[in-house]
Amino acid sequence: MAAYITPVVNSTAVFKDGLFDGKVLFCTGGGSGICKAMTEAVMRHGAHAAIVGRKLDRLTTAAQELSTATGKLCLAVQADIRRPAEIQAAVAKTIEKFGRIDLVICGAAGNFLAPISKLSENGFRTVIEIDTIGTYNTIKATLPYVRASKGSYIHVSATLHYRGTPYQVHVSAAKAAVDATSAVLAVEEGPHGVRSNVIAPGPIAGTEGMDRLGVREGNGAPSSLLSTMPAGREGDVKDIANAAVFLFSDAASFITGQVIVVDGGNEHLLKFGLPYPQAVLDPDSVTKMIRPRL
Ligand code: COA
**Distance (Å) from CA 113 to ligand 1 centroid:** 10
Cα–Cα dist 136/126, whole Å: 15
206 or 75, which is more confident? 75
* 272-293 average pLDDT score: 90
- Domain edges within the chain: 14-216+223-289
- 4 pLDDT higher than 60: no
| Nearest ligand 1 atom to alpha carbon 110 | 44
**Distance (Å) from CA 67 to ligand 1 centroid:** 31
Fold for the domain defined by 14-216+223-289 = Rossmann fold (3.40.50)
Query: DSSP class of residue 261?
Result: E
Q: For 43, what's the count of Cα atoms within 13 Å in the CB-facing half-sphere?
A: 27
Tell me the per-residue pLDDT of 105-115, one tens digit each, with 9 for 90 and over: 999 999 999 99
Q: Maximum Cα–Cα distance for the chain, whole Å? A: 76
Tell me the per-residue pLDDT of 27-54, one tens digit each, with 9 for 90 and over: 999 999 999 999 999 999 999 999 999 9
Least confident of 27-36, 71-80, 213-222, 243-252: 213-222
Q: In 79-207, which ranges are continuous DSSP H helix?
A: 84-98, 121-127, 134-149, 169-189
Return the ∠ at Cα 283 (arms to 277 and 287), rounded to 5°: 120
| Confidence at residue 84, expressed as pLDDT on a 0 to 100 scale | 98
Given the residues 11, 32, 152, 157, select the one marked as catalytic: 157
Cα–Cα dist 49/23, whole Å: 9
Least confident of 1-10, 198-207, 267-276: 1-10
As a whole number, the mean pLDDT across the chain is 94
Q: 3-class SS at 239? A: helix
| Nearest ligand 1 atom to alpha carbon 82 | 29
Cα–Cα dist 118/24, whole Å: 42
Q: Which residues contact 76 (CB under 8 A, 6 or more apart)?
A: 31, 50, 51, 56, 59, 60, 62, 63
* 250-275 average pLDDT score: 95
| Confidence at residue 5, expressed as pLDDT on a 0 to 100 scale | 63
Ligand 1 neighbours, Cβ below 6 Å, are 109-112, 114, 119-120, 122-123, 126-127, 130, 208-209, 212
Quick check: is 172 catalytic? no
Testing ligand 1's pocket by substitution, the residue of 118, 121, 126 carrying the most ligand atoms inside 8 A of its CB is 126
Q: Identify the residue whose C-alpha is closest to ligand 1 atom 13.
A: 123
CB atoms near residue 140 (< 10 Å): 13
Global pTM? 0.94
Residue 3: pLDDT band by 50, 70, 90 thresholds? very low
Quick check: is 175 catalytic? yes
**Distance (Å) from CA 45 to ligand 1 centroid:** 35
Testing ligand 1's pocket by substitution, the residue of 82, 112, 160, 207 carrying the most ligand atoms inside 8 A of its CB is 112
- 2 pLDDT higher than 50: no
DSSP codes joined into one string, 44-107:
HTT-EEEEEES-HHHHHHHHHHHHHHHSS-EEEEE--TTSHHHHHHHHHHHHHHHS---EEEE-
